[in-house]
Amino acid sequence: MTIRSSLAALSAAAVLALPTVALSQESVRIGVLAGVTGPLANFVPPILDSVNLAAKHVNDQGGLLDGKTMEIVVADTQAAAQPAVDAANKLVGVENVSAIWGALSSGATLAAATAVAIPNKVVMLSPTATSPEMTGLDDGDYVFRVVASDDYQGKVLADIVKEEGINKVAVTYVNNDYGVGIARTFMEAFKAAGGEITGEQKHEEKSASYRAELATLSGGDPEALVVIAYAGGSGITIVRQSLENGFFDRFIGTDGLRDNKLIEEIGEENLSTTFFSSPTSPPGTTAQDKFKTAFEAAYETTKDKIFIEQSYDAAFLLALAVEQAGSADRKAIRDALRAVASPPGEVVEPGEWEKAKELIAAGTDVNYEGVGGSLDFDDAGDVTGFFGRFIVEDGSYKETGVYQ
């Protein structure tokens, strides 16, 4: 190799090396685990918009620490356990993220947490994983979530169903952490309230036919079918085959089924008596108005976009934790997370990054009050939350009641 060509190679190497060096100095990387493909794919684009909005608020108002940017690194979990572990490994080992936002589904979150985040001591903050399993997880205090456990959703759903005057239901649920968790608490609460479960059946996702299961479930004269499943995984197929064969004409769904695809594929006219429970935000807080205004300015509408509130909160909280920690150190971020989310402290709301940054710089405690509620973590890293009752109206979902 001549001197000239080695010089050229050297300078090429320098050019190639520069951006990485610069990046690691100027940004704090937050890993985002989301099911970009797979059964939750329909939900994900607005959720990522929301995360990017939080990052934009942070970066436009002074950035993290001493002028670093908050960099979002997305990895695809396919909303399934094994791919989630691979994605988390990539974030922790290759992308070297400081904290992990996500994952979305409970199964993916539990797998990624147990196999990657907990052993590597990286904090994971899920916006949407609702399985009760998360509460008892032996996580060394590294796993948090900003959405309430299905223990609550199951109970609220039982209340809503009883309130409707429905006393006999059949239940079908997807065979994963989400379905099993929520079904168990729902059935317990419903029976305790005097309701009757005429049949229960767990099912495998992505099957071509659920007619056999549904035929069995329709026995015993139930008034409605409770479907605890993701719309894209099995929910739409179950609803369609129920209607086509006359097994059921009334459905009760959870947040997983509350997907716009359901209305699109099944048709509004077939869902007139159907209702849904879903985590929602408390009515009429200032945090909500601020978020709604900011989101709509950036992405036109918040309508029909589910979990954007929780997604924003989780991303903003992680940024606050980094700022409070004073470094991109993984353990320090974990230690700071509770402090910035809970009282005591000066209240900070969505979009108020500049204010939060000043307060933290001055050594004042901050307490983030999120779009989805006050988000004060308990010992297990859980929050209490609000659930809405939704019906289908004018081609989208309309909230008709809020429960806590």
Give me the residues that bind another protein (CB under 8 A), please: 36-38, 41-42, 175, 201-204, 206-216, 219, 231-232, 236-237, 240, 243-245, 261, 264-267, 270
**Min. distance of Cβ 199 from another protein in angstroms?**
9
Q: How far is CA 226 from CA 93, 204, 395, in A?
A: 41, 16, 21
Tokens of residue 363, six digits? 């050594």
**Min. distance of Cβ 216 from another protein in angstroms?**
6
Residue type, 49: D
**Min. distance of Cβ 117 from another protein in angstroms?**
25
**Min. distance of Cβ 61 from another protein in angstroms?**
33
In contact, 59 and 69? CB cutoff 8 Å: yes
Interstrand relation of 168-174 and 143-145 (parallel, antiparallel or unpaired): unpaired
Tokens of residue 306, six digits? 């589910």
> Which residues, 6+ apart, have CB-to-CB distance to 391 below 8 Å?
274, 275, 276, 397, 398, 400
Q: Whose Cβ is closer to another protein: residue 226's or residue 231's? A: 231
Instruction: Report helix, strand or coil for 34.
Output: strand
Q: Whose Cβ is closer to another protein: residue 210's or residue 403's? A: 210
Q: Whose Cβ is closer to another protein: residue 259's or residue 313's? A: 259
Instruction: Report helix, strand or coil for 115.
Output: helix
d(CA 12, CA 60): 33
Q: How far is CA 126 from CA 109, 177, 228, 324, in A?
A: 7, 15, 20, 20
In contact, 52 and 31? CB cutoff 8 Å: no
Q: Whose Cβ is closer to another protein: residue 173's or residue 353's? A: 173
Q: Whose Cβ is closer to another protein: residue 69's or residue 198's? A: 198
Q: What are phi and psi of 172, to 5 degrees?
A: -125, 135
Q: Whose Cβ is closer to another protein: residue 175's or residue 327's? A: 175
Residue type, 124: M
Q: Whose Cβ is closer to another protein: residue 306's or residue 318's? A: 306
Q: Whose Cβ is closer to another protein: residue 257's or residue 360's? A: 257
**Min. distance of Cβ 78 from another protein in angstroms?**
8
> Which residues, 6+ apart, have CB-to-CB distance to 163 below 8 Å?
none
**Min. distance of Cβ 37 from another protein in angstroms?**
5
**Min. distance of Cβ 238 from another protein in angstroms?**
11
DSSP-assigned states of every residue in 370-400: BTTB-----TTS----EEEEEEEETTEEEEE
Which helix or strand (DSSP H or E) is residue 320 part of? Answer: helix 308-325
**Min. distance of Cβ 104 from another protein in angstroms?**
14
